[in-house]
Amino acid sequence: MSLYCGIAFKRKFFWCYRLLSTYVTKTRYLFELKEDDDACKKAHQTGAFYLFHGLAPLLQTSAHQYMATQHSLLELERLLGKFGQDAQRIDDSVLIGCSEQQKAWFALDLGLDNSSSISASLSKPEMETELKGSFIELRKALFQLNAKDASLLSTAQALLRWHDAHQFCSRSGQPTKKNLAGSKRVCPSNNIIYYPQVAPVVITLVSDGTRCLLARQSSFPKGMYSALAGFCDIGESVEETVRREVAEEVGLEVESLQYCASQHWPFPNSSLMIAYHATVKPGQTEIQVNLRELETAAWFSHHEVATALKRKGPYTQQQNGTFPFWLPPKLAISHQLIKEWVEKQTSSSLPA
């Protein structure tokens, strides 16, 4: 028995070591590509490229889902040549990740006019015909992508948007130059380095113990409710932001809070969504909606929320003119927050 346990322990340790080793190797490889232009240029040779046009990714439809397509360096060079473009345009691409086998992934936007680019925007219809796909707005396609493609394309769009918006130095006004991987931009006149940034946003599911509070903005799709969310102000801790946002938006005071998870969100300009569960005192639950922030907010029972989680789209208008109550799709961190609350309520109601 002791021999068996020893073998099992060694095997477990071996697999843990291999998993860690793969992750570390991959992370170090990406770091090298970000810091060394020559290494990044070499990675182009065996890498794969995701194409965008005006920040919209090239997608194909497969079984009622969108699928992101990859292109090799040779395919991309042929494509650019066919449209009279110089292959040097590939240097406008940005590094967005790599496989465990160290195959680097890049994103290139063929519809943006960069100050550093020697070529103008390419025709969208002509490119779609040639590539047998469509450039689709990421916000519309995100929840119809698999998790890997959604993550990669979100990262790609955020980086491409950042570079498009930071082509000039805020101090000198001179054009900045990106490194080959796109992990930074430098102003040649004063050597100021600019790094891509994200804006921290808290997203909070408020509960009074038996109900959870959900809200909607006028910009939401009809019938959809979600957790409260807001940007962190300068000088605030994340916990302070949670308390302020809940007070500002629905007029409630948070009694306690618990961290849940975080998620990168590319809209509108690359945010880090930091998710919390928060509770308010049962006797202090009267909502006072801030109409400058929200369209409406309400308390929902466990049954109502559990039913909404099971509901599947499309969510069409009903005969009485209303839309069914529904929740954000699975890829959104607000869905995870709400699902966790439902599961916790379910387990606490089971007999011991």
Question: What would the two tokens of residue 8 be?
Answer: 């099992």
d(CA 166, CA 298): 41
The CATH number that domain 199-311+323-348 falls under is 3.90.79.10
Q: What is the pLDDT of residue 121?
A: 72
**Residue 351 binned pLDDT confidence (cut-offs 50, 70, 90):** low
Rounded to whole angstroms, what are the CA distances from 308 to 188, 321, 351? 54, 19, 25
b (16+ CB within 10 A) / e for 145-176: beeebbbbbbbbbbbbbbbeebbebeeeeeeb
| Residue 41 pLDDT greater than 70, yes or no | yes
Q: What is the pLDDT of residue 120?
A: 63
Which among 221, 345, 323 has a CA at the least distance from the CA of 279?
A: 345
Establish how many alpha carbons lie within 13 A of residue 13's alpha carbon, considering only the half-sphere containing its beta carbon: 6
| Residue 116 pLDDT greater than 80, yes or no | no
What mean pLDDT is predicted for residues 80-88? Answer: 91
| Residue 38 pLDDT greater than 90, yes or no | yes
Going from N- to C-terminal start, the domains of the chain cover 22-112+123-164, 199-311+323-348
Of the candidate ranges 103-107, 109-113, 208-212, the one whose mean pLDDT is the lowest: 109-113
Q: What is the pLDDT of residue 62?
A: 82
**Residue 236 binned pLDDT confidence (cut-offs 50, 70, 90):** very high
Question: What would the two tokens of residue 48 be?
Answer: 């794969």
The more confident residue out of 272 and 268 is 272
**Residue 114 binned pLDDT confidence (cut-offs 50, 70, 90):** low
The pTM of the full predicted model, rounded to 2 decimals, is: 0.85
Q: What is the pLDDT of residue 314?
A: 61
Q: What is the pLDDT of residue 316?
A: 67
| Residue 315 pLDDT greater than 80, yes or no | no
pLDDT digits (tens, 9 = 90+) for 127-175: 999 999 999 999 999 989 999 999 999 999 999 999 999 999 999 999 9
| Residue 282 pLDDT greater than 50, yes or no | yes
Tell me the helix, strand and coil percentages in the chain, rounded to 5. 40, 25, 40
Sort strands 199-207 and 228-231 into parallel, antiparallel or unpaired: antiparallel
What mean pLDDT is predicted for residues 304-319? Answer: 80
| Residue 12 pLDDT greater than 60, yes or no | no
**Residue 268 binned pLDDT confidence (cut-offs 50, 70, 90):** confident
CA angle (263, 15, 33) in 5-degree steps:
55
